[in-house]
Amino acid sequence: MWETVVILFFGGVKVWSVFQAKRERLRIWQAAAESNDLVVETTQTWVWSLHLKAHAGPLEVRFEDTRHKDGGSRIVVVVRGPLGFTAVKIRREWMKPPWAREIEVGDKAFDGAFYVVGPPRLLCALLDAETRHLLIDVNAESRGMEIVDGEIRAETSDGQVSNLLRLLLEIGRRLAQPLDAVQRLAENTKKDPKAGVRLRNLILLVHEFPGEPGTTEALRTACSDASAQIRLRAAKELGAEGRGVLVELAENTIDDATSAQAISILGQNLPPERTRAILAQALRRRHVQTARACLEALGDSGAAEDIGTLAKVMALEKGELAAAAAKALGSTGSPAAEPPLVLALQRAELADLQVAAANALARAGTTAAVLPLKELAEHISHHPEIRKAARQAIAEIQSRLPGASPGQLSLAGTETGQLSLAQAEPGQLSLASEPGGELSLPAEEVP
């Protein structure tokens, strides 16, 4: 009997102790609600359950016990956000499933802290600099924070309830504001301190609101952005209106990648003399991407002076720039490109150049290139890619011969340089067995 009395006594003490702790937590919640101008609607106090519901304007707030081993409070702010907001999910990065695809807003600190899914337009419009800053603060000061199903949820110790509630209410008010997506994206494009965020918002404006006055205004403003990548994207989207900005970026001596992209976008709208000047500067500074873009542009022009420039670069450079110059020479389609390309076939120390030269001759070569290509294919046993490129080039040259079909040109192993029209089928080319270098017609076709 005494054992039962002892058990009941200590059990009662424990229940009373828990009940008092619950009352103290409720007092903390009520004080936090009052200090943040919330109107309390209902409270519920049981030994094992505690609940408080309040509201602040359109925001509904719930205080709940946590299941954390050290106790604490859970605050939930219900947000009636814009259309599509219930599909937004923002959780801590470590909660992201391995297969999940997330949205990144362009802020490395934020993107590294959170796993975000939902409509990209809505997310980028809502997650401006201040909102991201608040979410990062809440993440640092709470045990767990997430936005799911239109609710902002966070857990903390009882001593931090009032401060955490203040932050959550501020986030809730920002997310619940009426939203004009074009206006908000345009504002983010102009004002956000993170270049990645500005660029992401600009891209969304262009893709989802093309031709809108707000989009055009944002593009014009972005042409003066501190970020070269943003200026590049804006100028590209503006077309002829942005051409001056693209030329400035093309002549930029600092950012190799941006300069190369600007040159590629401009194409033939960049005068050849400027392209040659930029190329010379890029070669001096070893801006490889810019130099490659210039070589491609000169290859598209096909002017005699440009062919000379390309041939010189191919002869002096090594590696990818020599190969790029060879490819550009092939793009010209000019007979003047053939001699330097044939010479490049002999640079055995540069396999990549030999492949590029063979591929270029496939586009610009004549029958004069067939024998050098054949010799290259026969003498390269350790490099199948070169042999393949040389043989393909021969086949392409054959296909361009008048009256011939691909594959009709055969290279005999007797006397090099002998070409004749086969008597079996007029128009077919083959290496003759007569003296080297003769081009003959069948007797019945001789005029």
Query: For the segment 93-109, what is each residue's pLDDT rounded down to a tens digit?
Result: 988 888 888 999 999 99
Average pLDDT over the chain reads 86
Whole-structure pTM value: 0.79
The predicted model gives 75-99 an average pLDDT of 92
The domains located in the chain, with CATH, are 20-96+122-177 (3.90.1150)
In sequence order, what are the residues at sequence separation of 6 or more whose Cβ sits closer than 8 angstroms to the Cβ of residue 431?
410, 411, 412, 414, 415, 416, 418, 419, 420
pLDDT of residue 447: 37
Half-sphere exposure of 376 (CA within 13 A, CB side): 33
Residues 135-176 have pLDDT tens digits of 999 999 898 899 999 999 999 999 899 999 999 999 999 999
pLDDT of residue 245: 97
CA distance 432 to 435: 8
pLDDT of residue 351: 92
Q: Are 116 and 138 in contact (CB under 8 A)?
A: no
Of the candidate ranges 240-244, 302-306, 309-313, the one whose mean pLDDT is the lowest: 302-306
Give residue 404's pLDDT band: very low, low, confident or very high (50, 70, 90).
Answer: low
pLDDT of residue 23: 82
Query: Is residue 246 packed enough to be buried (19+ CB in 10 Å), middle (13-18) or exposed (0-12)?
Result: buried
pLDDT at 411 over 70: no
pLDDT at 415 over 50: no
Helix (H, G, I), strand (E, B) or coil at 35: helix
Question: Integer distance in angstroms from the first to the last C-alpha of the chain?
Answer: 135
